[in-house]
C-alpha cells in the first residue's frame, strides 16, 4: 500500500486517469446533447468501435495520425446519419434501434478487423503536449498539463457544450425540443431538424471517443470498448444531463479504473480477485448513479419520437 502513496505514482495515476476518462467524456458529452433534445442513443458503443477501427486502419495505412483521427470522427458522423434517419425520421423505438446500431458496430468492426488487418500491430499514438508555463508546476503540472491534444480538446468541450446549451438560441431550441416538442413546433422550430443535428453531433463525438480510446491503448482488438459506450450513456444520467456533471462522472470512472490497474500491477489486489476488481468502476458508478441521479429529472420526452397531433 505504501508504494502507492508516492508522489510519482500518484501523479501518474491521476494523469492516466484523466486520459482514460477522455473517451467516456467525449461519448457522454455527445450523448448529453442528443438526450437533451429527447433522443436516446444506445448505439454509442458500436459507433465508438467503428470510430476506433477507422482510426486504427487509416493510421496503419497512412501513418498520418491527424488523418486517422479525422477518419474515426467522420465514421461517427456517418453512423449519425443512420441513427438520426432511424430514430428521428422513421420514428423507431429508440431503445431497440440503438441496440441494432450497437450490434452492427460490434460485428462490422470485428469483421473488418479480421479481413483487413488480421494480426494486431501497435500504432503510434498522440504524444503528450505540455502546456508551457503550466506543465512545470510541481505535482499539478504532471497531473493535468502534460496530456495529449485530444484530452485537452475533450475537456475544453465541456464549457463549450455548457455555453451552447445555456446561452445560445440553438441550445434553447435543443432544450425546448427535449421538454415539449409540441410547443417548439408551434413556434416554428423544426423538431426533426434540431434532433437530426444533435444526433449528428452526438455520434460524431462518439466516433471521436473511439479514436481517443484507441489513442489510450495504441492497439485495436475485437470489442475494444468492452461495452464502455454503455457506461457513457449511464454517465449522462450520472451527470444529470449537464456537461459538468458528466465530466465529473467520467473522471470518477477513469480514476477508479486506473487505480484498480495500478493496484493490480503493484500486487495490492491479488491476481485471483482481479476480474472482480475490474468491475469496480462500473459498480461504483452505478451506486453513485442510484444516489445522485434521482434528484434530477430527465428530459420530459426522452426516447419518444415526436408526432404532430391531428
Residues that bind another protein (CB under 8 A): 167-173, 175-176, 179-180, 182-190, 297-298, 300-301, 308, 310
* Radius of gyration of the chain, Cα coordinates, nearest whole angstrom: 20
- Shortest Å, Cβ 157 to another protein: 17
Q: How far is the CB of 28 from another protein (least distance, A)?
A: 21
106, 119, 121, 99: which is closest to 222 by C-alpha?
106
Residue 205, Cβ density class (10 Å: 0-12 exposed, 13-18 middle, ≥19 buried): buried
Q: How far is the CB of 295 from another protein (least distance, A)?
A: 13
Q: What is the DSSP string of 109-161?
A: HHHHIIIII-S------PPPEEPTTTTTSTTHHHHHSEE-HHHHHHHHHHHHH
| Minimum CB distance to another protein smaller for 122 or for 297 | 297
Q: What is the DSSP string of 234-264?
A: HHHHHTTT-HHHHHHHHHHHHHHHHHHHHHH
Q: Please report how close the Cβ of residue 40 comes to another protein at its closest, in angstroms.
A: 14
DSSP bridge pairs for 82:
none
Distance separating alpha carbons of residues 81 and 38, to the nearest angstrom:
17
Nearer to another protein, 47 or 191 (CB): 191
Q: Which is nearer to another protein, 43 or 178 (CB)?
A: 178
Query: From CA 84, how far away is CA 205, in angstroms rounded?
Result: 14
CB of 173 to another protein, least distance (A): 7
**Shortest Cβ 195–another protein spacing (Å):** 15
Of 128 and 171, nearer to another protein (C-beta) is 171
Of 6 and 186, CB closest to another protein:
186
- Shortest separation between residue 266's beta carbon and another protein, angstroms: 46
Beta-carbon count within 10 A of 175 CB? 19
The span from the CA of 47 to the CA of 234, in Å, is: 16
φ/ψ (deg, to 5) at 71: -65, -45
Residue 2 or 169 with smaller CB distance to another protein: 169
In whole angstroms, the minimum distance from the beta carbon of 184 to another protein comes to 7
For residues 278 and 251, give the distance between their C-alpha atoms in angstroms, rounded to a whole number: 16
Q: Which is nearer to another protein, 190 or 227 (CB)?
A: 190
Instruction: Report the C-alpha gap between 48 and 54 in whole angstroms.
Output: 10
The residue among 135 and 179 lying less far from another protein, judged by its C-beta, is 179
State the helix-helix crossing angle for 243-265 and 228-238, rounded to 10 degrees: 130
Residue 150's nearest CA partner among 238, 55, 237, 77 is: 55
Beta carbon of residue 72, minimum distance to another protein (angstroms, whole number): 28
Q: Toward another protein, which CB reaches closer, 258 or 302?
A: 302
Rounded CA gap, 128 and 217, in Å? 14
Amino acid at each position: 500500500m505504501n508504494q502507492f502513496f508516492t508522489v510519482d505514482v500518484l501523479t501518474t495515476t491521476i494523469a492516466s486517469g484523466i486520459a482514460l476518462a477522455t473517451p467516456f467524456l467525449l461519448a457522454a458529452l455527445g450523448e448529453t446533447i442528443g438526450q437533451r433534445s429527447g433522443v436516446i442513443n444506445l448505439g454509442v458503443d458500436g459507433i465508438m468501435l467503428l470510430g476506433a477501427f477507422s482510426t486504427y486502419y487509416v493510421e496503419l495505412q497512412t501513418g498520418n495520425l491527424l488523418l486517422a483521427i479525422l477518419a474515426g470522427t467522420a465514421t461517427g458522423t456517418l453512423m449519425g446519419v443512420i441513427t438520426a434517419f432511424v430514430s428521428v425520421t422513421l420514428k423507431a423505438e429508440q431503445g431497440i434501434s440503438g441496440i441494432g446500431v450497437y450490434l452492427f458496430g460490434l460485428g462490422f468492426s470485428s469483421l473488418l478487423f479480421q479481413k483487413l488487418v488480421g494480426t494486431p500491430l501497435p500504432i503510434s499514438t498522440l504524444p503528450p503536449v505540455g502546456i508551457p508555463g503550466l506543465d512545470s508546476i510541481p505535482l499539478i503540472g504532471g497531473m493535468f498539463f502534460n496530456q495529449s491534444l485530444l484530452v485537452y480538446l475533450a475537456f475544453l468541450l465541456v464549457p463549450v457544450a455548457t455555453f451552447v446549451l445555456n446561452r445560445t438560441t440553438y441550445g434553447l431550441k435543443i432544450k425546448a425540443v427535449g421538454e415539449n416538442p409540441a410547443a417548439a413546433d408551434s413556434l416554428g422550430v423544426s423538431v426533426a431538424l434540431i434532433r437530426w443535428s444533435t444526433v449528428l453531433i452526438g455520434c460524431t463525438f462518439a466516433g471521436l471517443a473511439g479514436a481517443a480510446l484507441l489513442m489510450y491503448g495504441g492497439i485495436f482488438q475485437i470489442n475494444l470498448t468492452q461495452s464502455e459506450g454503455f457506461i457513457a450513456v449511464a454517465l449522462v444520467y450520472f451527470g444529470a444531463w449537464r456537461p459538468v456533471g458528466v465530466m465529473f462522472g467520467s473522471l470518477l470512472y477513469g480514476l477508479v479504473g486506473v487505480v484498480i490497474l495500478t493496484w493490480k500491477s503493484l500486487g495490492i489486489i491479488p491476481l485471483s480477485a482481479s476480474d472482480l476488481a475490474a468491475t469496480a468502476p462500473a459498480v461504483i458508478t452505478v451506486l453513485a448513479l442510484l444516489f445522485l441521479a434521482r434528484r434530477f429529472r430527465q428530459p420530459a420526452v426522452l426516447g419518444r419520437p415526436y408526432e404532430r397531433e391531428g
